[in-house]
Amino acid sequence: MGGPGLEVAKFTFYVFMPMAFMVYFGGPGFYERYVADEAFKFNPPPKMKMPTEPGDVQRALDQLRADREARRLAREQVISQMSKE
């Protein structure tokens, strides 16, 4: 069996090892080096900024409606050309 020196060494290891892990893995350097780039791969930032003002929201809705109408007209045109052939 070990003596009191071994017990002190074990106690020091048990107390300071978790603290060392927290300092290393919880530090900003570790985050920037290993985590920050991976976060964008799995959760990319939005491509367009969401409107927050009522006027901006209305303009965005009008634009979406116009795009949807243009796609519908293009689809109907293709269908009508296919039915003529």
Between CA 13 and CA 21 the distance in angstroms is 12
Domain boundaries, the chain: 1-45, 48-85
pLDDT at 75 over 90: yes
Q: How many CB atoms lie within 10 A of CB 28?
A: 8
Question: Using alpha carbons only, what angle is made at residue 77 by residues 74 and 82, rounded to the nearest 5 degrees?
Answer: 130
Between CA 32 and CA 39 the distance in angstroms is 10
Residues 6 or more apart from 59 whose CB is under 8 A from it?
Answer: 51
Give residue-wise pLDDT tens across range 25-47.
Answer: 988 888 888 887 776 777 777 77
